[in-house]
């Protein structure tokens, strides 16, 4: 009899886990995603939404935002699901840049062919960061489409308020779009929005800085008519604008109006007036204004006295010039430093270099002089082609026991090389090295070029290496000189490849490069290889026939010198140098 089957124990039911949605069948409908356990959906507990913070109007003030940037907003899932594809692309570009405007955002947005006004409005509806929104609004390009959006807002009975209009004007002012500013201003008036003091000040400042001071002055008078409190900064920008326009009378009238209104003028107002008076040779009135700044304890600086010093110098009123220097000394000015700034300013225009030297000749008699001033004047004289006069100043400085600095020696090197006095130029270079300083790049280049001209090629190549080792951005000619030296190991063809690369960079071979060819070929190859390179340059009309003759002579002399040095080194190695000297002295006695 067969054994009875033992019933198997029932398996414990296991929860059924499923992700996504399963394939539908005839008896089983579609089940969409989620976590299922025994066919019951487990929903995560939802925390109640935090209460929204109270509205703070200051957070939408552009000036406040620039000083207190808000942190990037944290987007919530599916918040942009109803946007158009292009709007989602723009929002995604913001997200990738961590909601900060920069080159990465602009790079992504430039992929779009055109951004319409409706698209701008769509993006701005969901963008919570005002700074990022304003930057995007301006990038979309700030005025016809913007007016179109304003028109649509009017149709929907939703016109912007004065704060929104002021923000638009401020953005347009920052980009210099004054026509756009005035169009927005007219739209604001069309909407019946009354401009406040911030709107007026923003537009007036923009107009004055953009050269439309008369239009700004009309708005200023409009403010006075309405009884709006006008700040001192508004007076300042108008005064500065009138001075730039040459309307000094209007500027002085505004200064009187400022004082009558109970304000106290600052240096930002006095300095432009003093400069404007000096420009039209009203130096005495400018000096009186300067005395006012002193009496009111405004602590004038170099920017205040510079126009007066220049006017006194141009009018040859040196006694008044020195009187002003004495007053500057009493007020605590660093006179020598300020005189250095003054001479640097004067020689910026080459035609005033002679005047600067004339003024200095009168000042140094009264004890006003410094190494810095000598260096400034030497550099200016060199630039105007007066090398002898520059070297005369250098010698005068040493005679007066002024110790030159590295800048002065660098200027002297350049002048000595142009005067074909390479020996003294090398002495100045050595002085700089003794001071543990580095010559200027121009001095390096000038001395290297001078050494190449007289055939001191080894010293020149040493300077090339020294310069590239001491400065961060040496001359390209020096970098290619070392490349040419290395290329000489491979022969003429490789050197010509380097020269071709140089010419593609806009650097034709000069004296230093040709000297590098001579040095490298004599060290690694032969004279014929060097002549092959020079012949190629002559064929391409990069060297003249005269230059070919000069470089060929230098090539032969340099090779003979290297051969002589090699022979002498061999004699020293074998200990035969003393016998050679004895033999030479015997021949001389005979």
Between CA 169 and CA 184 the distance in angstroms is 7
Report the pLDDT averaged over residues 18-35. Answer: 49
427 compared with 156, residue with greater pLDDT = 427
The pLDDT score that the predictor gives to residue 329 is 93
Q: Dump pLDDT digits (tens) for 365-412.
A: 988 989 999 999 999 999 999 999 999 999 999 999 999 999 999 999
Q: How far apart are the first and last CA of the chain?
A: 148
Among the residue ranges 8-17, 133-142, 369-378, the one predicted with the least confidence is 8-17
**How many Cα atoms sit within 13 Å of 119 on the Cβ side?**
18
Q: Where are the alpha helices (DSSP H) in 127-231?
A: 130-139, 144-155, 162-174, 178-190, 197-209, 213-226
The pLDDT score that the predictor gives to residue 150 is 66
The pLDDT score that the predictor gives to residue 19 is 44
The pLDDT score that the predictor gives to residue 75 is 47
80: left (phi over 0), alpha (psi -120 to 50) or beta: alpha
Query: Which two tokens mark 480?
Result: 């290619």
Between CA 513 and CA 159 the distance in angstroms is 70
Between CA 251 and CA 266 the distance in angstroms is 14
pLDDT band for position 26 (cuts 50, 70, 90): low
pLDDT at 1 over 60: no
* 37 phi, psi to nearest 5 deg: -135, 110
Query: Which two tokens mark 517?
Result: 């060819």
pLDDT at 98 over 50: yes
- Residue 491 contacts residue 529 (beta carbons within 8 Å): yes
Query: Which two tokens mark 185?
Result: 């201003």
For the entire predicted model, the pTM comes to: 0.68
Instruction: State the DSSP string of 546-578.
Output: HHHHHHHHHHHHHHHHHHHHHHHHHHHHTT-HH
Q: Dump pLDDT digits (tens) for 35-60.
A: 444 444 444 445 555 555 554 544 44
The pLDDT score that the predictor gives to residue 173 is 86
């Amino acid at each position: 009899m067969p054994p009875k089957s033992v019933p198997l124990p029932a398996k414990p039911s296991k929860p059924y886990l499923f992700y996504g949605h399963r394939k539908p069948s005839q008896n089983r409908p579609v089940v969409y995603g989620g976590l299922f356990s025994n066919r019951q959906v487990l929903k995560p507990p939802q925390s109640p939404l935090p209460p929204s913070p109270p509205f703070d109007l200051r957070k939408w003030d552009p000036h406040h935002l620039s000083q207190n940037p808000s942190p990037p907003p944290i987007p919530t899932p599916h918040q942009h699901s109803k946007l158009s594809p292009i709007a989602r692309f723009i929002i995604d570009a913001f997200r990738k840049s961590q909601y900060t405007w920069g080159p990465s955002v602009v790079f992504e947005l430039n992929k779009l062919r055109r951004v319409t006004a409706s698209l701008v409005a769509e993006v701005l509806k969901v963008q919570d960061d005002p700074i990022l929104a304003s930057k995007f609004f301006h990038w979309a390009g700030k005025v016809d489409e913007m007016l179109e959006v304003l028109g649509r807002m009017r149709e929907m009975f939703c016109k912007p308020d004065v704060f929104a209009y002021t923000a638009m004007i401020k953005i347009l002012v920052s980009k210099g779009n004054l026509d756009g500013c005035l169009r927005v201003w007219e739209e604001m008036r069309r909407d019946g929005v009354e401009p406040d003091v911030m709107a007026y000040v923003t537009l007036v400042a923009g107009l004055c800085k953009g050269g439309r001071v008369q239009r700004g002055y009309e708005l200023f008078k409009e403010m006075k008519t309405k009884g709006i409190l006008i700040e001192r900064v508004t007076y300042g920008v108008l005064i500065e604008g009138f001075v730039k326009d040459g309307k000094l009378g209007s500027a002085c009238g505004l200064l009187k109006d400022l004082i009558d209104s109970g304000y106290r003028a600052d240096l930002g107002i006095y300095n432009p007036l003093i400069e404007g008076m000096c420009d039209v040779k009203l130096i005495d009135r400018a000096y009186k204004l300067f005395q006012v700044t002193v009496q009111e304890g405004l602590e004038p600086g170099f920017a205040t006295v510079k126009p007066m010093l220049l006017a006194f110098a141009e009018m040859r009123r040196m006694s008044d010039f020195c009187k002003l220097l004495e007053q500057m000394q009493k007020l605590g000015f660093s006179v020598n430093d300020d005189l250095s700034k003054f001479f640097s300013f004067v020689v910026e225009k080459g035609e005033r270099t002679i005047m600067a030297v004339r003024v200095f000749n009168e000042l140094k008699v009264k004890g006003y002089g410094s190494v810095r001033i000598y260096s400034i004047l030497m550099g200016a004289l060199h630039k105007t082609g007066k090398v002898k006069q520059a070297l005369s100043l250098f010698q005068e400085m040493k005679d007066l026991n002024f110790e030159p600095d590295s800048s002065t020696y660098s200027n002297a090197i350049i002048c000595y090389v142009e005067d074909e006095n390479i020996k003294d130029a090398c002495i100045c270079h050595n002085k700089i090295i003794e001071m543990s300083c580095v010559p200027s790049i121009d001095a390096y280049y000038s001395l290297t070029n001078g050494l190449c001209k007289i055939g001191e090629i080894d010293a020149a190549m040493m300077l090339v290496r020294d310069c590239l080792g001491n400065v961060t951005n040496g001359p390209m000619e020096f970098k290619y000189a070392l490349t040419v030296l290395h290329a000489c190991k491979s022969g003429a063809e490789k050197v010509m490849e380097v020269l071709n690369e140089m010419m593609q960079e806009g650097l034709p071979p000069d004296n230093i490069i040709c000297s590098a060819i001579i040095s490298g070929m004599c060290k690694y190859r032969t004279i014929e290889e060097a002549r092959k390179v020079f012949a190629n340059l002559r064929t391409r009309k990069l060297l003249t026939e005269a230059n070919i003759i000069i470089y060929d002579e230098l090539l032969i002399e340099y090779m003979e010198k290297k051969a002589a040095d090699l022979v002498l080194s061999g004699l020293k190695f074998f200990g035969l140098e003393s016998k050679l000297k004895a033999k030479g002295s015997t021949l001389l006695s005979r």
